[in-house]
Structures are given as C-alpha cells and as structure tokens.
Amino acid sequence: MIDFGSDRPVHRQLADLIRADIAAGRLKPGQALPSETRLMQQYELGRVAVRQALGVLRSEGLVVTVKREGSYVRPQSPVERVTVEWPTEVTARMPSPDERKELDIPEGVPVFVLNQARRRKRVLPADRTVLVWPGRLSDKGGDPPA
C-alpha cells in the first residue's frame, strides 16, 4: 500500500510495489502490467505519479512500454558468459541511442566496454552478459592487478 504520510515519494513507493511483485514472480516476464488507469484507481494516484513509477522501472530494465499497448515485465534474455583475458580494460557506461538500437537494449540498461590491445572494442549489454576472469595467471607472474 502507498503511505501518503511517508517521506518517500509516492511514485517510488509504487515502483517498489511493482518491483516486489516482479521479484516474487507475481508478475512474470512478458506479462502485461495493469493499465495506467487501473494503477491510478488501485493506488489512488495521479497519472503523473504512475508514469513516473513506470519510468523508474524502465530505467532499471525491469519493464518495457509499448506505445498504445501498455507496459510489460521485461522478458529475460539468455545470458552470455564472456571470458575476459588479462590485460583487458573493462568499463561500464550507458549506451548511445545507436548502440541501444543495435544491441536491442531497453532504456536504463548499461553496457560493458571491453578494450584489449590490438583488438576491436567490444560493447556488450550488461543485463545479458556475465564477465568471467580465468583463475591464476601463473604465466603472467600471478593474478592481474585489482
């Protein structure tokens, strides 16, 4: 329930409730969320607060919104394990609009950028990538620096 006396903004409280339903499996990947109108009625909130809550969840990569259709729990994509060889520089950042389109990344999902000498930079969606470092690098004189 929404606590209108709380210091936490109501749109954040609504996002928390929907996020909890997703985490608990009450809302499943691909399932439609209740309409904005239904959420407004159910939680006695205005349209702006509902849209802000959905925006928070979109920015977290938990929901996608399709114009004129509604919002859905974002389906989980298969995860790719990528072995990172030393010395590779790994950074994380938000994707450009072109990268988001090319990699089919929803709003709010960051990318990993792998930069290795004499190789082309790789840009990987962080929500579908697990970076794995090999064990001890005895031929390199020990583990890479942290």
* pTM beyond cutoff 0.85: no
Backbone angles phi, psi at 5, to 5 degrees: -90, -5
Residue 69 lies in a domain: yes
User: What is the amino acid identity at position 123?
Assistant: V
Work out whether strand 80-83 and strand 129-132 pair parallel, antiparallel, or are unpaired: parallel
73, 89, 108 - which closes a domain? 73
pLDDT in tens, 58-104: 988 899 888 889 999 988 778 899 999 888 999 999 999 999 999 98
Please tell me the total count of domains within the chain: 2
d(CA 68, CA 9): 27
pLDDT at 145: 53
Residue 5 lies in a domain: no
Residue 119 lies in a domain: yes
Q: Which domain holds residue 58?
A: 10-73
pLDDT at 138: 46
Are 16 and 68 part of one and the same domain? yes
Are 24 and 64 part of one and the same domain? yes
Residue 140 scores a pLDDT above 80: no
pLDDT in tens, 126-135: 989 999 988 7
